[in-house]
Amino acid sequence: MNKEKIAILVDSCCNVPQEFVDKYGMYVIPLKVLYKDREYMDGVDITAEEVYRGLEKEIPKTSLPSGEHIQKILDRIKADGYEKVIAVTISSGLSGTNNMINLLAKNYEGLEFFVLDTKNISIGSGFHAIQAARYLEAGMSYQAICEKLEKEVMNCKVFFVVETLEYLQKGGRIGLVASLFGNALHLKPIISCNEDGVYYTVAKVRGRKQSISKTKELALQFAGNHKKYNVSIMHGDAAALCEEIKQDLLPKLPYMDVFVSDQVSPALGVHTGPGTIGICIQVLED
């Protein structure tokens, strides 16, 4: 169906599950996870589990992929016979990856580019790439897909809660989330991305249990009475809790299309820490 020879490119923090990467032949740009003595490629030569297990010894940093690495991926896309690229990245308000791909795309010869700033994080970005692949599979034109993706950016919302704000603070990714929540008060912010793609507090509640409850409630509200939506429950080193939420939540979401449940990528794990739970809803139809 791919008459226009369109490739789909994502960054590793979009958390597109491997099954979709394989099914649709997506290209993935890995971000970097940096330790004092070594650097790794996100999800390539380091796992989320390894990051979590090592946090007591060292909290690594993350950085953009190198321009050279992205250039090599673009060269591979061209060599594989593609002529157009739909690149989907996490929010430009949280990472410089979107800007870097835009800069490289401007000077790249032989490929036409559309770079989507999802203003989102994790699968909240990844769902746009999955939808792009599905639209392509349905025979939609490059132009139509690009326009549809632009329109759908605000139809996708991730609500997440972290065990502690320590990692967001240390990574400088705290955004508009007040970092002064006192541990003595056990106040937990439920975090999402605003229209500029920056973290902000949607709600704040007391205690872990209530925070999970409120996150579920916000996700259900966002799904509302819509007739079709994609759903994801993501976690950071909290598989059992993720499964528990799934059992409770899915029966309440009767119009679900694609469902994704996975651990966040190592690079995202660095910033959110263990115990993170995120619920994403992408509304597809009113």
pLDDT at 169: 79
Quick one: pLDDT band at residue 53, thresholds 50, 70, 90?
Answer: very high
pLDDT at 170: 79
pLDDT at 167: 82
pLDDT tens digit sequence for 201-233: 999 999 899 999 999 999 999 999 999 999 999
Question: Worst-scoring range by mean pLDDT, 101-105, 162-166, 270-274?
Answer: 162-166
The percentage of the chain sitting over the pLDDT mark of 70, rounded to a whole number, equals 95
Sign of CA dihedral 60, 20, 157, 189: negative
pLDDT tens digit sequence for 225-263: 999 999 999 999 999 999 999 999 999 999 999 999 999
Q: What is the DSSP string of the chain?
A: --TT-EEEEEEGGG---HHHHHHHT-EEE--EEE-SS-EEEBTTTB-HHHHHHHTTT---EEEPPPHHHHHHHHHHHHHTT--EEEEEES-TTT-SHHHHHHHHHHT-SS-EEEEEE-S--THHHHHHHHHHHHHHHTT--HHHHHHHHHHHGGGEEEEEE-S-THHHHHTT--TTS-TT--GGGTEEEEEEE-TTS-EEEEEEEESHHHHHHHHHHHHHHHHTT-SEEEEEEEEES-HHHHHHHHHHHGGG-TTEEEEEEEEPPHHHHHHH-TTEEEEEEEEEE-
Strand pairing of 156-161 and 276-285? antiparallel
- Tell me: pLDDT of 140 over 70: yes
Distance CA 203, CA 10 (A): 30
pTM of the model: 0.95
pLDDT tens digit sequence for 151-192: 999 999 999 999 988 888 777 667 667 655 555 567 889 999
The percentage of the chain sitting over the pLDDT mark of 90, rounded to a whole number, equals 87
Task: Specify whether the CB–CB gap between 201 and 191 falls below 8 A.
Answer: yes
pLDDT at 256: 98
**How large is the average pLDDT for residues 123-130?**
98
Q: Which residues contact 246 (CB under 8 A, 6 or more apart)?
A: 233, 261
Distance CA 176, CA 7 (A): 35
pLDDT tens digit sequence for 9-25: 999 999 999 999 999 99
